[in-house]
Chains A and B, each alone.
Chain A
Amino acid sequence: MSRNRLMIGTAEELMGSSSGMRGQIVWFALAGVAQGGVFAALLPLLRALLSGDTGGALPWLAVAAGCAVLSALLLWHAANTGYVVGIERIGDRLARRIGEHVVRLPLGWFTAGRAGRLARLTSTSVQDVTGIPSTLLQQIVMAVATPVTVIVVTFFVDWRMGLALVVTAPVALAVFAWVSRVLRDTHGPEDHAHAEVTDRVVEFAQAQQVLRAAGRTEEGWTTLDRALAGHRDAYLHKLGRASRPFGVYVLVVELGFATIMVMGTYLALGGSLRVPDAIAVLILAARFVEPLIQAGDLGGMFRIARVSLDAIGEVMHAKPLPTVSEGPIPADATVELDDVSFGYGERRVLDGFTLRCPPGTVTALVGPSGAGKTTVTRLVARFWDVDSGAVRIGGVDVRELPTADLMSRLALVFQDVYLFDGTIEENVRLGRPDATDAEVRRAAEAARLDEVVARLGAGWETRVGEGGSRLSGGERQRVSIARAVLKDAPIVLLDEATAALDAENEVAVSAAIAELARDRTVLVIAHRLSTVAAADQIAVLDGGRIAELGTHGELLAGGGRYARFWDERKRAAGWRLAAS
């Protein structure tokens, strides 16, 4: 019982509210006691009936019927509320809390393989927990409450038989605990292995192109095979380990019954126990063997629910970035990184990085691949927190801004475009759901998305597929630019926003961005120097800090890193891929 309460405590902590499960336990226990009353009535009834006194049996028959009706009503109520409690108060609530919690976690939490795992959590694990207040509690509570009631009554009839009924109980309980322990140790790994299967399957589907190209779908992708075999082994291991204690448990219960059988017969034959009483006790003992064995099984199911809860708990206990609900209002759209140091792990990526982007200007961030350009945008959007120094918007530290406030000021185009499986229009409207049609069209024009919409068969209604997989690279990128333009935020961060565009589209989109910059703060990251040259200031990122800062002309004249960069690009321009 204490374990159950522990579990309910865990569930409620995760849900942040009362689960209603304690109430369920009380109802089921009452129903179980009433049911015990039915069985207990068998003792006086048999005394009367077996002596041929049907008239004397009638009152007890009425008692039994009364208890049965009472038990039925209690059970009906408890079971039906149990379903609703499970679905609405536990399942619905847990799933939503997981969703809400996860989006507040820092990006660092989203390591690979999270998607499949989390999907399993919300769709399967939560469902496991949903069944607790109805089926699981009902069966386990009643499997205990009913026999206990009968045993108590039996003690009044004959203490020796009462003793016979309980004599194996401590042993059974001890073995039950053993079963439970083994399951705890082995079900966890099995669950883990299954989560790994789910992850790998999602990965398998999402990486089809690559896997096929590498011949992995033909010859088998060993990683998936390993996950599948790993799950099989964990499963068989669990069976191997759990079957012995479980078998012992069943045997103990059955031996308990055998004891009662032999003892009842002995006492009845010896004449010290009335025959009808002996028979009644034997009938009842035979009846309770099965529920008790099932209780062992149910213990296993509790374990499973417990493991599910723990898995949910693991996610819910991940620390979100600390947020505030109210903060100062930024003075303007200036973006400022002040002596920022940051690393994803041990290795420093930014080290004393300082940069100021005033409103109404375009700042271009250039630097070699891996220098930390994308990292800068992530810090501005506070996907991660700096290790030291500060990122400020309009003079306010981003850590002092409520998340919603901060996000409402930013429009981002990411280096890796991600679209949601829906229509083009839905994906663009994400930028500002209440935008008018005219605004959506204007954003589309700026991003040259209008051309795409006109060309594709279903126009705005074209479905983009999972992650945007049914659009070409450049089309996808234009959807994400349109989305950012539509958002109409004072600060725009563009990470390689035109990398997948052809020259003509790039020129057009760049012009639109320049237009956008007139009353906004724009930070662009680009490897194509064309986009860079026109910026109001160019920041060259190298070695984790700004190596040079100035306009195109100034930096070229300076003859430093940027000038070398420029040369390199020009050399690359003269350089051609050829097979000679």
Chain B
Amino acid sequence: MADDDALVRPGALAEMLRPVRGRLVLGMTLAGVGALFAMVPFIAVAEVGRALLSGGAVWPWAIAGAGGAVLRAFFMGASASVCHVANGHFEYGIRSRLARHLGRLPLGWFGDHGSGEVKKAVSDDIKGMHHLVSHALSDMTSAVVAPLVGIVYLLLVDWRMTLALLGFVAAVLAVVSPMLKRGYQAHMGTYNRAQAELAKATVELVDGIEVVKTYGGRARASQRFDEAVTTLTQRCLAWTAAMGRPATAMNIGLAPATMLVWILASGTAFVAAGWLPPADLLPFLAVGVGLPGPYLQVGSAANMLRQGQLGATHVDRLLGLLPLAEPAEPRRPADGRVVFDDVRFSYAPDAPPALDGVSAVLAPGTVTALVGPSGSGKTTMARLLPRFWDPDGGAITLGGVDVRDIPSRELLSRVAIVFQDVVLLRESVRDNIRLGRPDATDAEVEAAAKAARVHDVIMALPDGYDTVLGSDGGGLSGGERQRVTIARAILQDAPVVVLDEATAHADAESEAAIQEALSELAAGRTVMVIAHRLHTIAGADQILVLDSGRIVERGRHEGLLAADGLYARLWRAQNTEVKA
């Protein structure tokens, strides 16, 4: 990763800019025309001078100069507006495209990269391209056009003096440019990474704030934050040492003041040598002094271009990641029957298998319970069903169709899941509950909340169902949060329902009530329940006992107790405790 971060795939940028290409071409054309007019006032000043000295016609040039000034303002302004508007549309388009794409990647990618990487791509990289789209392209156009016009004009005046001028510019660039380029390549990648790392450390600092507070300044998160700041500072300093000095040197070397001194010195020599009539020095003073000016801008524009390309490359790399394959010949599941057929899966090639040959049939209208020690693979089984990951071996079918042959939209609409980890979005309670069915009516939302025994709690919030969760005053207790996610699943009204430790944080009273509601929900559906509190699943039609990724026992409660295996052991562990 380290070095190819700085590598830019040439076509990446052009491809991404395609949707706004028309606007950009217009913007660049306007900038080119503007650059033409931009030279007029300078040339006019020189010609007015020459005319004053030689007694020629002065006013035409004076008027041209004044007019050119106004026209360049117009064209440059128009160019900037067009490019900025293009950028607004570009940023929006590419961000939504990227978000859609990321949502189709295997879930494991998020586990490996984390929200920091996503934030960097969607927020920062695209912001990096902003300079490119709105400034760099038009700046570069004028940086090519304006000096060209200037050089042609000066050559017409006196080619030797022009060469003396260009020679000086070339000499400065020859010294500085390689330094700039080297510095850039060496440091941009590391700088970008340091910045992403700090962003990530900040997210952790906030998300883990309770832990950070408890473990004080020694906490890993504070430490990592500190380290990230230090690294970024060092990177910045290194980058400055490599880039800042040459950039300053270039700024000084090509500054108008420096150019002026050089032109005056060489011009005086030329005049003294009799090579140049004094009046012909004026074009060089008026036009030549500013000749490298646009190049200074190209310098910074080139940086923006690189930064943009870097961002584009990163974004392009993400867009190039293969999403979970959509079926070539999509098929529709017949019903809610779920079959695991010798499913094998591990989260990483070198990790121990999380599922190791799991076979099971979950029939519609029945409840299948998954029990077993922590880490045995229960949640994993639940995750494979909606294709958060694909199995390494074996197959999972829904309604007789391999889940890989069902279009994701169809598949996801058929499975409702209550996750072990409660995740609520920073949206109104109402929107949180109807996440899976955005068109649900308020009455339906309330009915689901009542079934999940969380309606009263919601009504007590400052704005009831419109309270934004996580906002000031929009906090809920652990159990309340969990119940909101249950309401969400109830509302989704899908033929397959997966409940992963859905009542782990419920008190006895609400647990009983929720279970009742869930049983109602379960009627006619395929239900998969994962639970550690065995009494909640003792009535299941089928109990699968998982251990180290394998199903070691299966059957009904009574049968499993009689078999006196792992299930019986777990049951006893729980019930000897719960003797009253």
Is B28 positioned at the interface, with any CB of A under 8 Å from its CB? no
Structural contact, A99 and B208, CB atoms closer than 8 A: no
Structural contact, B52 and A275, CB atoms closer than 8 A: yes
Q: Which residues of A contact B386 (CB under 8 A)?
A: 212-213
Q: Which residues of B contact A235 (CB under 8 A)?
A: 87-88, 91
Is B30 positioned at the interface, with any CB of A under 8 Å from its CB? no
Is B145 positioned at the interface, with any CB of A under 8 Å from its CB? no
Structural contact, B245 and A80, CB atoms closer than 8 A: yes
Is B265 positioned at the interface, with any CB of A under 8 Å from its CB? yes
- What's the Cα separation between A556 and B580 when bound, in Å? 10
Is B441 positioned at the interface, with any CB of A under 8 Å from its CB? no
Q: Which of B91, B107, B473 contacts A232 (CB 8 A)?
A: B91
Is A24 positioned at the interface, with any CB of B under 8 Å from its CB? no
Known: A42-B260, A79-B248, A529-B578. A239 touches B423 (CB 8 A): no
Could you give 9 example pairs across A and B, Cβ below 8 Å? A87-B237, A114-B206, A120-B123, A470-B347, A473-B421, A474-B532, A577-B536, A579-B365, A579-B522
Structural contact, B119 and A212, CB atoms closer than 8 A: no
- What's the Cα separation between A251 and B290 when bound, in Å? 21
Structural contact, A251 and B202, CB atoms closer than 8 A: no
Structural contact, A503 and B248, CB atoms closer than 8 A: no
Least Cβ–Cβ distance between A143 and chain B, in angstroms: 12
Is A57 positioned at the interface, with any CB of B under 8 Å from its CB? yes
Among A80, A83, A219, A469, find the residue whose CB has the most chain B CB atoms closer than 10 A: A83
Within 195-242 of B, Cβ neighbours of A (below 8 Å) are at: 195-196, 198-200, 202-222, 224-226, 229-230, 232-233, 236-237, 240
Structural contact, B425 and A223, CB atoms closer than 8 A: yes
Structural contact, B374 and A578, CB atoms closer than 8 A: no
Nearest-CB residue, chain B, relative to A469: B111
Structural contact, B374 and A473, CB atoms closer than 8 A: yes
Known: A496-B478, A506-B573. A198 touches B373 (CB 8 A): no
Is A218 positioned at the interface, with any CB of B under 8 Å from its CB? yes
Q: Which residues of A contact B348 (CB under 8 A)?
A: 457
Known: A116-B119, A123-B199, A279-B52. A92 touches B107 (CB 8 A): no
Binds A, one of B11-19, B153-161, B178-186, B537-545: B537-545
Structural contact, A95 and B232, CB atoms closer than 8 A: yes
Structural contact, A49 and B534, CB atoms closer than 8 A: no
Structural contact, A575 and B512, CB atoms closer than 8 A: yes
Structural contact, A265 and B62, CB atoms closer than 8 A: yes
Q: Which residues of B contact A566 (CB under 8 A)?
A: 580
Q: Which residues of B contact A282 (CB under 8 A)?
A: 45, 48-49, 286
Structural contact, B571 and A49, CB atoms closer than 8 A: no
Q: Mark A483-500, 1 if CB is under 8 A from B, else 0.
A: 000010000000110011
Q: Which residues of A contact B548 (CB under 8 A)?
A: 455
Known: A265-B59, A283-B45, A286-B41. A228 touches B92 (CB 8 A): yes
The 6 closest A-B pairs by CB, nearest first: A576-B539, A112-B470, A474-B374, A217-B103, A369-B479, A530-B577
Structural contact, B123 and A250, CB atoms closer than 8 A: no
Is B359 positioned at the interface, with any CB of A under 8 Å from its CB? no
Structural contact, A215 and B388, CB atoms closer than 8 A: no
Structural contact, A465 and B436, CB atoms closer than 8 A: no
Within 413-462 of B, Cβ neighbours of A (below 8 Å) are at: 413, 415-417, 419-423, 425-427, 431, 435-436, 438, 457, 460, 462
Q: Which residues of B contact A123 (CB under 8 A)?
A: 124, 195-196, 198-199, 202, 232
Q: Mark B63-100, 1 if CB is under 8 A from A, else 0.
A: 10111011011001100110011011101100110011
- What's the Cα separation between A297 and B65 when bound, in Å? 24
Q: Which of A206, A467, A472 contacts B375 (CB 8 A)?
A: A472
Known: A289-B41, A502-B372. A122 touches B202 (CB 8 A): yes
Q: Which of B236, B523, B540, B570 contacts A504 (CB 8 A)?
A: B570
Is B268 positioned at the interface, with any CB of A under 8 Å from its CB? yes
Known: A115-B207, A228-B92. A574 touches B535 (CB 8 A): yes
Q: Which residues of A contact B505 (CB under 8 A)?
A: 369, 415, 496, 499, 527
A-B contact count (CB 8 A): 582
Within 60-84 of A, Cβ neighbours of B (below 8 Å) are at: 61, 64-65, 67-68, 71-72, 75-76, 79-80, 83-84
Is B360 positioned at the interface, with any CB of A under 8 Å from its CB? no
Structural contact, B95 and A287, CB atoms closer than 8 A: no
- What's the Cα separation between A210 and B469 when bound, in Å? 15
Within 7-44 of A, Cβ neighbours of B (below 8 Å) are at: 35, 38-39, 42
Among A197, A202, A239, A403, find the residue whose CB has the most chain B CB atoms closer than 10 A: A202
Least Cβ–Cβ distance between B505 and chain A, in angstroms: 6
Structural contact, A115 and B203, CB atoms closer than 8 A: yes
Structural contact, A503 and B570, CB atoms closer than 8 A: yes
Q: Which of A71, A91, A275, A470 contacts B233 (CB 8 A)?
A: A91
- What's the Cα separation between A87 and B240 when bound, in Å? 9
Q: Which residues of B contact A576 (CB under 8 A)?
A: 535-540, 557
Q: Which of B203, B222, B475, B512 contacts A119 (CB 8 A)?
A: B203
- What's the Cα separation between A50 and B540 when bound, in Å? 105
Known: A64-B261, A108-B472. A239 touches B84 (CB 8 A): yes
Least Cβ–Cβ distance between A489 and chain B, in angstroms: 9
- What's the Cα separation between A132 and B347 when bound, in Å? 47
Structural contact, B535 and A232, CB atoms closer than 8 A: no
Within 256-299 of A, Cβ neighbours of B (below 8 Å) are at: 257-258, 261-262, 264-265, 268-269, 275, 278-279, 282-283, 286-287, 289-290
- What's the Cα separation between A105 and B386 when bound, in Å? 40
- What's the Cα separation between A470 and B408 when bound, in Å? 24
Structural contact, B252 and A347, CB atoms closer than 8 A: no
Q: Which residues of B contact A383 (CB under 8 A)?
A: 210, 213
Q: Which residues of A contact B118 (CB under 8 A)?
A: 201-202, 204-205
Q: Which residues of A contact B255 (CB under 8 A)?
A: 35, 72
Q: Which of B88, B115, B350, B460 contacts A206 (CB 8 A)?
A: B115
Structural contact, A239 and B81, CB atoms closer than 8 A: yes
Known: A64-B261, A72-B258, A577-B367. A279 touches B282 (CB 8 A): yes
A contact residues, range: 35 or more
- What's the Cα separation between A118 and B200 when bound, in Å? 10
Q: Which residues of A contact B99 (CB under 8 A)?
A: 201, 204, 221, 224, 228
Structural contact, A568 and B77, CB atoms closer than 8 A: no
Q: Which of A75, A91, A113 contacts B252 (CB 8 A)?
A: A75
Structural contact, A42 and B92, CB atoms closer than 8 A: no
Binds B, one of A151-159, A163-171, A406-414: A406-414
Q: Which residues of A contact B472 (CB under 8 A)?
A: 108, 111, 345
Structural contact, B119 and A261, CB atoms closer than 8 A: no
- What's the Cα separation between A205 and B423 when bound, in Å? 12
Structural contact, A112 and B469, CB atoms closer than 8 A: yes
Q: Which of B367, B408, B427, B507 contacts A218 (CB 8 A)?
A: B408
- What's the Cα separation between A123 and B211 when bound, in Å? 22
Nearest-CB residue, chain B, relative to A294: B297
- What's the Cα separation between A112 and B469 when bound, in Å? 8
Binds B, one of A174-182, A351-359, A416-424: A416-424
Is B518 positioned at the interface, with any CB of A under 8 Å from its CB? yes
Binds A, one of B271-279, B314-322, B392-400: B271-279
Structural contact, B573 and A578, CB atoms closer than 8 A: no
Q: Which residues of B contact A214 (CB under 8 A)?
A: 412, 435-436, 488, 492
Q: Which residues of A contact B102 (CB under 8 A)?
A: 204-205
Least Cβ–Cβ distance between B53 and chain A, in angstroms: 6
Q: Which of B230, B286, B417, B501 contacts A213 (CB 8 A)?
A: B417
- What's the Cα separation between A199 and B260 when bound, in Å? 51
Structural contact, B244 and A474, CB atoms closer than 8 A: no
Structural contact, B436 and A215, CB atoms closer than 8 A: yes
- What's the Cα separation between A430 and B59 when bound, in Å? 80
Is A397 positioned at the interface, with any CB of B under 8 Å from its CB? no
Nearest-CB residue, chain B, relative to A564: B509
Q: Which residues of B contact A265 (CB under 8 A)?
A: 48, 52, 58-59, 62
- What's the Cα separation between A61 and B527 when bound, in Å? 92
Q: Which residues of B contact A213 (CB under 8 A)?
A: 386, 412, 415-417, 419, 436
